[in-house]
Structure 1
Amino acid sequence: MRNKSDRKSFIADFEQKLTNLFTLRLDPLKQNLQRGIPPFLLNEVLNLKPLSASIPTEFGGRGADPVEILSILETASYHSLPLSLMLGISGALFSEPLAKYGREDVKRKVFSQLMNNNRLGGLMITEPDFGTDALGMQTNYKKVEDTYHIQGTKHWAGLSGHADYWLMTARKQKDDLSLNRDIDFFLCDSSDPNQQVIAEEYYNNLGLYFIPYAKNRVDIHVPVNYKLEPKTTGIKLMQDLLHRSRMRFPGMALGFIKRMMDEAIAHTKERFIGGRPLTAFDQVQRRLAELQAWFTAASAFSKNAAEISGIQNDLEKQGLIANVHKTMLSEMMQKASQSLLTLVGAAGYRQDHLAGRSITDSRPFMIFEGSNDVIFNQIADSFVKGMERIKEMNLLNYIKTHPLTTKASDLFAKHINFNISSNLNQRKRVDLGELLGYIVTAQLTLELGESGFNKDLINNALSVFREKAASLVNSIHEASEAFCLEDYLPHSQWQESF
């Protein structure tokens, strides 16, 4: 691990060069309208060696220090969220799991390529018929002499057709052609003709134009030493990988939200209505205060991730906190971009305006690695099961005892002093999951304050979190049970009343 001064120097140099690149050498908004990242831009960025942060020192990297990794992602996302995601994919979804589970000889070769020849790595899990249900994947493999033959179809893998290396997921084919339940991971080297994954159809993704996504045909042969070596099972390896990936969200979220906040403050100070700056209006102040709350929360999540997400730690059992990272940060990113667009007004409703681009670029974060609705439900399930286990169904009483919420329980006491039904329907569980997410966020924010972070920002953020929690409590108590009428056409034409 690098010392503090070396890390600060590395990040400062990275920040200065990105600032020069994005302000003096190109118009990032116009560049963001092009499909794929311009090669010169990618080379300029990779020449700064940001991927070395995710590589252990014994392989020539900077040590896989979470503080440095998160700081690089934060710096990149302030200038370009798609660029930060590219670095995040190659780091969190490729280099870090390879460093932890790959063979020594393979790691030495691949990491040298990443650092010295500006190579990129990616991960392929999702399949056209198996998105959220990743365990149902049909990509399969069997051993053929000294290789593994892997066949299947993958899609929505960031850097499709562009990455030099892949981590490929597949299930072992049995003698009866059925597939093992467990999942295995394999390194794939695109420079080898026997390992080339074919991008059959490129997608016109709504945002994140820098990053190519496609449907990929997999029919490859990889050497036996390219198989990753899990400590126990491949499923636990995947959990460790994905939980660590979700704990890289804070870096991307923090830089992005800070940019939204800085742009919003600058615009509302300079824009006058009726002789007064926009900052003089109460509703504008409310939006600015929320932006600062999201900034503070992302800072708190960054501190938490830096403390627990190093590759030396096994994160397969950290699903709850990882899920809170993913859902709350992605929701805040989208809220931040929506607020900037509202404050900027009509000018922001353009593809080449930062506000408009930010909405479409940040929205996928609420979808990939699991839809937020699904994950909020999982967060609620985790708490409810814990309550049932100790036979304590009063939410406040349980929150006081849970390690992720005990410090924040008093802040929400007047809102959450009610009993939770074990048969709470799904829509209310989703609301409950988000409510619990705000309480966990508040605790992380309190812990950030204990480290010396700006007290005014801490207090303002906690006020915003309480307001959001109160609204969710009302939704949980609301008796509405609206449902979809599949046969809605009878008596549904307003003209029939005339």
Structure 2
Amino acid sequence: MSKKDLYEAPDYFVVDELLTDEHKLIRESARDWVKKEVSPIIEDYAQRAEFPKHLIKGLAEIGAFGPTIPVEYGGAGLDYIAYGILMQEIERGDSGIRSTASVQGSLVMYPIFTFGTEEQRKKFLPKLASGEMMGCFGLTEPDHGSNPSGMTANIKDAGSHYVLNGAKMWISNSPFADIAVVWAKDEEGKIRGLIVERGMEGFSTPETHNKWSLRASATGELVFDNVKIPKENIFPTIKGLKGPLSCLNQARYGIAWGALGAAMDCYDTALRYSKERVQFGKPIGGFQLQQKKLAEMITEITKGQLLVWRLGALKNENRATPEQISMAKRNSVETALNIAREARQMLGGMGITGEYPIMRHMMNLESVVTYEGTHDIHLLITGMDVTGLNAFS
């Protein structure tokens, strides 16, 4: 029998007062859904390394797929703070489930809406928003991660269609995705975006097994062996790295909020445990070292909450820079990892069991700190922004 989800979100600086009634309503529906549908089953699915596909319908219903996409294309037409709140609540449940939503909204629906033709938008976006169709995003290759410009996946013009060859790896959702938004070089060496559909001959999606992290998320490869891509599946105007990097900005923004959700869950768990666990005749929360841990956790969470709220306000005004998003992603994930590790210690041996969510969050965050730009790469992005000097090459 699963334990009841008693989560209460910390809000030390009354950040709630910065939110609209609509934001709070969206948060409550997402939080209720996570407590009812995710928390009771997630430990079991993580232990079995299986993605709970039945959650797709619920994710669509709470607006997690493309929340900022206009209503006419099936999206919810929400602002970026609402999008962030959704990601925070979902990742509070599990990073892998949030990854599924992030990929669908930021890496599949966003490029189709932004770079696609009207025909592509009408064909794919409503089905993606409803969860009837699921997508994935192909950028990272076996030999090209932090340096995507070195990609070798390529398309060649064959007159009536293009022929796609290459492989992508570490692709969330790939094993069950109906479509893949893929980035490949054309014959001029320019990076182009295209939509690959399940069932196209030569297209396969082998699953990645033996993961210690994101175990409740489906990860795989994308393999293209002379896949014929109809010309209407190409994004017509976008060329170069600007396309995929703008998608990553969207996803990184969601992660900045999402990782804080994982941090808040770990803090809330440790705080409650510290009041219940008695050692040396009193609750461990009464000892100085435990209070130091909790005080530092809530301080870092509060700083993170204010950072992502301000970032959301800038994003709503179309003023958030990629560098600001980069800083927030790195900060939130580092904060969450540190809090998960401290919370794990506070729970002692119980911290490593599936009876509590902390170890699962900690393992998940080891992927989140790497994907959508590693911790170190984000540090260099900030470093280059403040100095004007490029340390990448």
Would you say same fold, with TM above 0.5? Answer: yes
| AA of the residue aligned to 2:33 | K
Q: Over residues 2-50 of structure 1, what are the superposed CA-to-partner deviations in whole Å (9 max), with x where a residue is unaligned?
A: x954454343223223322235xx3322222122322323334334442
1:276 aligns with 2:282: yes
C-alpha separation in 2, matches of 1:34 and 1:284? 33
Match of 1:374 among 361, 373, 377: 377
**What corresponds to 1:184 in structure 2?**
192
| AA of the residue aligned to 1:244 | Q
- SS of 1:163's partner is coil
Following TM superposition, by how much is the alpha carbon of 1:197 offset from its aligned partner in structure 2, in angstroms?
A: 3.1
Change (3 A) 1:374 1:52: closer
Percent identity between the aligned chains? 19
Verify the 8 A CA contact 1:153 1:218 in the aligned structure 2.
yes
Larger-Rg structure: 1
- 1:220-369 aligned at under 5 Å gives the runs 220-230=227-237, 233-309=239-315, 313=318, 318-350=321-353, 353-369=356-372
Following TM superposition, by how much is the alpha carbon of 1:265 offset from its aligned partner in structure 2, in angstroms?
A: 0.7
Following TM superposition, by how much is the alpha carbon of 1:95 offset from its aligned partner in structure 2, in angstroms?
A: 1.4
C-alpha separation in 1, matches of 2:164 and 2:156? 7
Count residues with an aligned counterpart.
Answer: 373
Q: List alignment gaps of at least 5 residues for structure 1.
A: 175-179, 387-421, 430-498
Q: Over residues 255-284 of structure 1, what are the superposed CA-to-partner deviations in whole Å (9 max), with x where a residue is unaligned?
A: 211111111110111112212222222221
- 1:122-133 aligned at under 5 Å gives the runs 122-133=136-147
Following TM superposition, by how much is the alpha carbon of 1:94 offset from its aligned partner in structure 2, in angstroms?
A: 1.5
Match of 1:159 among 173, 176, 180: 173
Verify the 8 A CA contact 2:157 2:163 in the aligned structure 1.
yes
- SS of 1:367's partner is coil
| AA of the residue aligned to 1:22 | V
C-alpha separation in 2, matches of 1:187 and 1:59? 17
Change (3 A) 1:206 1:352: farther
| AA of the residue aligned to 2:37 | L
- In the superposition, the TM-score normalised over structure 2's length comes to 0.87
Change (3 A) 1:240 1:287: same
103-112 or 222-231, larger mean C-alpha shift: 222-231
Q: List alignment gaps of at least 5 residues for structure 2.
A: 1-18
- In the superposition, the TM-score normalised over structure 1's length comes to 0.69
**What corresponds to 2:94 in structure 1?**
80
Verify the 8 A CA contact 1:366 1:372 in the aligned structure 2.
yes
C-alpha separation in 1, matches of 2:210 and 2:353? 18
C-alpha separation in 2, matches of 1:300 and 1:79? 21
Following TM superposition, by how much is the alpha carbon of 1:82 offset from its aligned partner in structure 2, in angstroms?
A: 1.4
Following TM superposition, by how much is the alpha carbon of 1:208 offset from its aligned partner in structure 2, in angstroms?
A: 0.7
Match of 2:46 among 28, 32, 35: 32
Verify the 8 A CA contact 1:161 1:197 in the aligned structure 2.
no
C-alpha separation in 1, matches of 2:269 and 2:208? 33
Verify the 8 A CA contact 2:185 2:192 in the aligned structure 1.
yes
- SS of 2:48's partner is coil
**What corresponds to 1:489 in structure 2?**
none
Change (3 A) 1:230 1:339: farther
